[in-house]
Amino acid sequence: MRLAKYLAHSGVGSRRACEQIVRDGRVSVGGEVVVDPARDVDGSEPVNVDGEAVRPAEALVVYAVNKPPGVVSTASDPQGRPTVVSLVPSDYRLYPVGRLDIDTTGLILLTNDGELAHRLTHPSFEIPKTYRARVASAPIRRQAIEALRRGVVLDDGPTAPARVRRVTADTFDLTIHEGRKRQVRRMCESVGHPVRSLARIAIGPLELGDLRPGAYRRLSDAEVAGLQAPSAGSTGRRAQASLP
């Protein structure tokens, strides 16, 4: 693991802040000052910041969850509604990566990795999310699909072009990389096809697959690396977040 990432996982600061701390000569590895944030460390040598030892507080984990309807995408809820975090028994302090509306189902991630959560949710990274929408006023009109592919104008401004694939006469898959409130529902309504049901089926290269509603599983290191990779937004074959 690179030194700056090791420090970030130890709670020293953000990755960028930790890179600067290293460059400032405040970090030693095995008793020697290191100024290269990309220096590899494996935990076998003591790492100190300003003379104080640091170690990652806990392992970083990511779970895929198939959120059922009626479950809120938060760690706790003052109204006492079930939360996605309550679906995953874990010794780690988990929190959801982004949100799904209470009536939207499908793939959501839980993690204790703040850096990964930032990458997957910040608009600058343009991580695509794919939704399967069953809509009213079938059959879906070609003009509606073309409008979504160009981008539509909502009350908070125009959207970026979406990738759209018709599945059946009343269902299509819509891929966007923005994260506005109820965006997919508003986009569909704007082209004359209000949503009847909506499920997120992919985040970047990770697909929901056959994970049952309410079920979860921990992602492998390879799947997490795929979410972190610069190519996470590619349209190639995606990994499956299905049960073994």
Compute the average pLDDT of residues 54-60.
75
- Kindly name the residue from 36, 77, 101, 170 that is annotated as catalytic: 101
Same domain, 109 and 45: no
Tell me what the mean pLDDT of segment 4-18 comes to: 82
pTM of the model: 0.76
**What pLDDT, on the 0 to 100 scale, is given for residue 233?**
60
Instruction: Please check whether residues 227 and 119 belong to one and the same domain.
Output: yes
Identify the domain containing residue 145 by its residue range.
128-203
Same domain, 220 and 181: no
For the residues of 102-168, what is the DSSP string, one character each?
Answer: TT-EEEEEEES-HHHHHHHH-GGG---EEEEEEESSSSPPHHHHHHHHH--EETTEEPPP-EEEEEE
* φ, ψ at 30 (rounded to 5°): 60, 30
Give the least confident one: 4-8, 155-159, 164-168: 4-8
In terms of domains, do 178 and 80 share one?
no
What pLDDT, in 10s, does the model give residues 113-162?
877 888 898 888 999 999 999 999 999 999 999 999 999 999 999 999 99
Q: Is 173 a catalytic site residue? A: no
Question: Are both 143 and 24 inside the same structural domain?
Answer: no
What would the pLDDT profile of 80-98 be if each residue is shown by its tens digit? 999 999 999 988 878 899 9
pLDDT confidence of residue 26: 95
**CATH number of the domain that 159 lies in?**
3.30.70.1560
The dihedral over CA atoms of 149, 155, 157, 160, expressed in degrees to the nearest 10, equals -20
Whether residues 153 and 209 share a domain: the answer is no
The CATH code of the domain that includes 40 is 3.10.290.10
State the total domains in the chain.
3
Of the pLDDT bands very low, low, confident and very high (cuts 50, 70, 90), residue 234 is low
Q: How far is CA 235 from CA 111, 129, 163, 175, 196, in A?
A: 24, 11, 10, 10, 27
| 31 and 49 together in one domain | yes
Six token digits for residue 230:
């610069």
Asked if 38 and 70 sit in the same domain, the reply is no
